[in-house]
Amino acid sequence: MSPRNSNPRIRILLLPVLVLGMTAALCAQGPEVPVDPSNSFQVNLPGDGPLALVSADWGRTRATARGGAMLVDLHSTLVFKNASPRPIRGVSLLVLAQEVTPGGKASVTVPSLDVQPGEVFPIRVDLRLMRPLNTGTGALVQVGLDGVLFEDLTFYGPNRLNARRDMLSWELSARRDRKAMLAALTQGGPEILRKQLLAVLARPSDNLVMGMQVARAMPATNVEAGRSVEFAFLQFPDAPVELLSGDVRMTGTEARAPRIELQSKAKRAIRFVELGWLAKDEQGREFMAGTLPADVNLPPGQHSTIRKENTLRFAKPVNGLTAFPSAVEFSDGDLWVPSYAALKDPRLAAALPASGEERRLAELYRRKGLDAVVQQLRSLR
């Protein structure tokens, strides 16, 4: 059986430092560096782990010298076998060219898998990494396992990049959306489900997202520029946290040093909160602008303040910001995500693009028809 989702999520990990002079050096295109696939690449998997490597194709990978650094343009297809007795729902790989070099480390995460024991599946790796030109011997790129999420939501792996949290969030969200679609099918019949899938296909996802980048804020040398703007909040009745107050310094396309006070409504301690952001443009339209994660130490019923020494840079001028809780992780590792009903609130529904699982099922409908979607809704949790 092939994976249900063939689109990996790639994250390039940059160190929070600026290397002066590197930009100029990288602008000079250098000669191609010979790459020998037999010793330039390594896939390191635990011998008793849930994955076994079947094959690795590095044929289109290239390395180029740029000043004192090397740009590795990595293109590979890795084929793995599920060597465990449990179905696999997600896999995250750590791809390393150099541990301490800015741009030398990345992750490739594939959620929404349905790989049964003994089955094989491919993972595409397409990314660029940087490493010093002279690093002695050793593999050019090393690929390791950061984590595997199983059908029963248990996790295996070192979890160096918090892969468990990300994959668990995606899987819980996917199950939530499938459950809602199955309910629509049960209550309204095939035509209701067909209308939902067609609506997802017709939804212009790219137009509903305003680009946002998070950068480390630079120290102020005089009076902080911009105006103080209070956050608006969307509250979900079933959320384990309540957002109480907050503000940010706004200057055109930038929002600096956001601060949000929140209170726990849970009976368990909370260690992580992720906030979704809606940005309002100059015409009063709202767009999804991304999420902002925060590690917290929030006992039951207590208050906490999230302060980020960051600058949020938007793709166009912003006149207001609205925040809402998009994920909460408890100290025992359990995770909360918003309910389907909460995300279908008219204001959110107008601003949020279709979820990844909704898009996947809609694409399955487009390619294979309604029966294929119904089969998955009834066979998967």
Helices (H) and strands (E) in the chain, counts: 8, 22
Query: pTM of the entire structure?
Result: 0.84
Cβ 83 vs Cβ 121: under 8 Å = no
Q: Which amino acid is it at 113?
A: L
Task: Write out the two tokens for 106.
Answer: 């990345």
Beta strands (DSSP E) in 224-363 are: 227-230, 232-233, 241-251, 254-264, 270-280, 286-298, 303-307, 310-314, 320-330, 335-336
pLDDT of residue 14: 34
Task: Write out the two tokens for 374.
Answer: 């119904």
Residues contacting 325, CB < 8 A, separation 6+: 236, 239, 240, 241, 243, 273, 274, 275, 276, 338
d(CA 121, CA 58): 17
Task: Write out the two tokens for 304.
Answer: 């906490």
pLDDT of residue 309: 81
Residues contacting 267, CB < 8 A, separation 6+: 300
Q: Name 76's bridge partners.
A: 125
Cβ 294 vs Cβ 274: under 8 Å = yes
pLDDT single digits (tens) 166-216: 999 999 999 999 999 999 999 999 999 999 999 999 887 655 566 666 666
pLDDT single digits (tens) 251-299: 878 888 899 999 999 999 999 999 998 988 888 888 888 888 999 999 9
d(CA 264, CA 244): 10
pLDDT of residue 364: 95
d(CA 17, CA 222): 23
Helix axes 370-379, 356-368, angle to 10 degrees: 130
Report in angstroms the alpha-carbon separations of 152 from 54, 89, 90, 156, 168: 25, 9, 12, 12, 11
Q: What does the buried/exposed string (b/e) look like for 340-377 if buried means 16 or more CB atoms within 10 Å of the residue's CB?
A: bebbeeeebeebbbbbbbbbbbbebbeeeeeeebbebb
What letter does residue 306 receive in the DSSP assignment? Answer: E
- Averages of pLDDT over each 10 residues, the chain, 381 residues: 52 34 42 68 94 92 81 92 97 88 86 94 92 73 96 96 93 96 95 95 70 58 68 94 94 86 97 92 85 93 90 83 96 96 87 89 96 93 73
